[in-house]
A and B are shown apart, each in its own frame.
Chain A
Amino acid sequence: MAVLSHDTFLTGFDGGLRGGPLPPGVTARIPAEAARRFDVYRNNVAVSLTEALASRFPVIRRLVGDEFFRAMARVFAEAHRPQSPVLAEWGDSFPDFLAGFPPLANWPYMADVARIEYARGVAFHAADAEPLDPQLLTGADPETLILHLHPSLQVLASDHAAVSIWQQNQPGAQASPLPAAPETALILRDRAHEVPVHSIGPGDVAMLAAIQSGATLVASAEAGLAADPAHQAQALLVHLMQAGAIVMRRGHLP
């Protein structure tokens, strides 16, 4: 056959993967079988990407069901192919895709649940940071103390009860009535490298934002109280310490 440059070959083959005609030059010992054999590649690409997405968004799969998920994942994967061989980085556009996916228009919480799942993946792979020894805090002056939070820590606000929906769709979880109010998720990798999801109130949200902006401990606690007069700064700090989420800043002691 005529010489086909490798770039032309790759473009033709990829076109075939996307459902285009059998690429030029593709053959088999029995040439009539070439199309059926090429389908193995088409299928491998679609199935492997679907499985990668399903492993990243298990709650979404559970909520919509396997068959719906597979069909939806194919649509997503064709429009949003991975841009890197590191598949853990794939799927950041999946929540927005869900928000705009017409068959899910009656399930507006779906995108926020997917945002939680994506954030959990980010937290799972986030950089390590050594938890601060609590002894180092005892003598510190809260007026000047600046805390540093673990790189995996993320706060995600939802217009829905997205945290409860996520929690109730974990293996073995019991269903219970969903809260009517919107929820905010605290996502954080713990000392056992697990990434639980907790619902936090406006005081926690404000205090965490203040800590992350570099405010002192006293100023951060005041920010929590300003957002919620009943806020318990102590409870949040205990939770963070237990999870190992208050960390050493490199080369710095409080």
Chain B
Amino acid sequence: MVAMTQLPPLPGLGFKPEHFAAIRAARAPVGFFEVHAENYMGAGGLPHAQLSALRADYALSIHGVGLSIGGQRGLSVDHLQRLRRLCDRYEPESFSEHLAWSSHGADYLNDLLPLPYTPETLDLVCDHVDQVQEALGRRMLLENPATYVLFEQSSIPETEFLTEIARRTGCGLLLDVNNVFVSCTNHRTDAYGYLAAFPLDLVGEIHLGGHDAEDLPSGPLLIDSHGRAVADPVWQLYAHVIGRAGPLPSLVEWDNDLPDWAILASEAERAGAILAAGGAHGRAVA
């Protein structure tokens, strides 16, 4: 497997075409941009023109949402080939996907759906991660999900499940701190306890994003909506992670109800300030 180049331990932003002109007008306060792989699988035109221009100036993370790694056995060979072509074309510093499923049969459901954590699904996900890494010829990062339900059949804690996948396949992990906060709030568990069990030494990238909230009789139900600013408790969790692990590439995701570029850039600057403070401590001290 090709040795993985690294994203810089700096803030990053999800790239949206609406912001292209602003990004070109002045150097963005980021070390990298991230794009969703499936938005760049057409043959040509504006998406590739913009991504080529961006890629020339910034490090790049390609983030897949359509592989359905937690789905039925056998990933789509067509989709893996398209990913391979995309990675070959842009040579991103990172490729990542989700611990989730999004296809059933031939149908694509366009959502990141949850799976039970069992010995069977552990074997399945490991086989799929192996398949991805072999097809792409590179190490991938696997992201922890935001979930709204639990499964009676789950027998392995999520942190242990992810650690074991990384151990068996050699993949890295993408730690979505907002997802940790959303899931732990939803399941009435402690986010700091989750992070204490999370193998931070395997984390190649952090995600931050905004969430929405609904009310249930037992308390809040948080929805991973990516449609607003990162919430304060998520920033606190993030600062805790950086304090322990040292600076890591840190992406702010904002996919819906897009704000002006200045607001997005200020979110990246907020992450940058925490990274700078974390750099004073660093991994060696943590």
A85 to B109, CA, bound (A): 8
Pairwise interchain contact A10-B188, C-beta atoms closer than 8 A: no
Q: How far is the CB of B239 from chain A (nearest CB, A)?
A: 27
The A-contacting residues of B in range 55-71, CB under 8 angstroms, are 65-68, 71
Q: Tell me, yes or no, whether A40 is within 8 Å of chain B by CB.
A: yes
Pairwise interchain contact B45-A37, C-beta atoms closer than 8 A: no
CB contacts (< 8 Å) of B223 on chain A: these are 40
> Among the listed B39, B43, B148, B221, which residue makes an inter-chain contact with A41, where contact means beta carbons less than 8 Å apart?
B148
Pairwise interchain contact B148-A37, C-beta atoms closer than 8 A: yes
The A-contacting residues of B in range 212-241, CB under 8 angstroms, are 216-218, 221, 223
> Among the listed A11, A44, A84, A87, which residue makes an inter-chain contact with B79, where contact means beta carbons less than 8 Å apart?
A84
Tell which of A22-30, A60-68, A135-143, A220-228 binds the partner. A22-30
Q: How far is the CB of B95 from chain A (nearest CB, A)?
A: 15
Pairwise interchain contact B107-A81, C-beta atoms closer than 8 A: yes
Q: Tell me, yes or no, whether B38 is within 8 Å of chain A by CB.
A: yes
Total inter-chain residue pairs, C-beta < 8 Å: 141
Pairwise interchain contact A25-B116, C-beta atoms closer than 8 A: yes
Pairwise interchain contact B104-A26, C-beta atoms closer than 8 A: no
Q: How far is the CB of A221 from chain B (nearest CB, A)?
A: 29
CB contacts (< 8 Å) of B47 on chain A: these are 125
The B-contacting residues of A in range 84-133, CB under 8 angstroms, are 84-88, 123-128
A9 to B71, CA, bound (A): 10
A83 to B82, CA, bound (A): 15
> Among the listed B42, B68, B124, B149, which residue makes an inter-chain contact with A37, where contact means beta carbons less than 8 Å apart?
B149
CB contacts (< 8 Å) of A83 on chain B: these are 106-108
Pairwise interchain contact A126-B45, C-beta atoms closer than 8 A: yes
A123 to B223, CA, bound (A): 35
CB contacts (< 8 Å) of B107 on chain A: these are 14, 81-83
State whether A85 and B111 are in contact (beta carbons under 8 Å apart), knowing that A37-B149, A124-B45, A126-B44 are contacts in the complex. no
Most buried by A among B38, B103, B109: B109
A78 to B184, CA, bound (A): 32
Chain B interface residue count, CB cutoff 8 Å, equals 53
Pairwise interchain contact A4-B148, C-beta atoms closer than 8 A: no
Pairwise interchain contact A128-B103, C-beta atoms closer than 8 A: no
Interface residues on A, range: 35 or more
Q: Tell me, yes or no, whether B283 is within 8 Å of chain A by CB.
A: no
A30 to B106, CA, bound (A): 34
Q: Tell me, yes or no, whether A252 is within 8 Å of chain B by CB.
A: no
> Among the listed B43, B67, B104, B149, which residue makes an inter-chain contact with A34, where contact means beta carbons less than 8 Å apart?
B149
Q: How far is the CB of A44 from chain B (nearest CB, A)?
A: 4
Pairwise interchain contact B153-A49, C-beta atoms closer than 8 A: no
CB contacts (< 8 Å) of B113 on chain A: these are 13, 41
Q: How far is the CB of B186 from chain A (nearest CB, A)?
A: 8
The A-contacting residues of B in range 98-132, CB under 8 angstroms, are 101-104, 106-111, 113-116, 118, 120-121, 124
Pairwise interchain contact B150-A193, C-beta atoms closer than 8 A: no
Q: Tell me, yes or no, whether B280 is within 8 Å of chain A by CB.
A: no
Q: Tell me, yes or no, whether B260 is within 8 Å of chain A by CB.
A: no
Q: Which residue of A lies closest to B41 (CB)?
A: A86
The A-contacting residues of B in range 123-163, CB under 8 angstroms, are 124, 148-153
- 24 example contacts (A-B, Cβ-Cβ < 8 A) are as follows A3-B153, A6-B124, A10-B101, A25-B152, A29-B187, A30-B216, A40-B223, A41-B148, A49-B110, A81-B108, A81-B109, A85-B79, A85-B110, A86-B41, A86-B42, A88-B42, A123-B45, A124-B45, A124-B46, A128-B43, A128-B45, A128-B48, A151-B43, A193-B45
A-B pairs with the 9 shortest C-beta distances?
Answer: A85-B66, A125-B42, A128-B44, A193-B46, A127-B43, A81-B107, A82-B108, A37-B148, A14-B104
Interface residues of B (CB under 8 A from A): 38-39, 41-49, 65-68, 71-73, 78-79, 82, 101-104, 106-111, 113-116, 118, 120-121, 124, 148-153, 186-188, 216-218, 221, 223
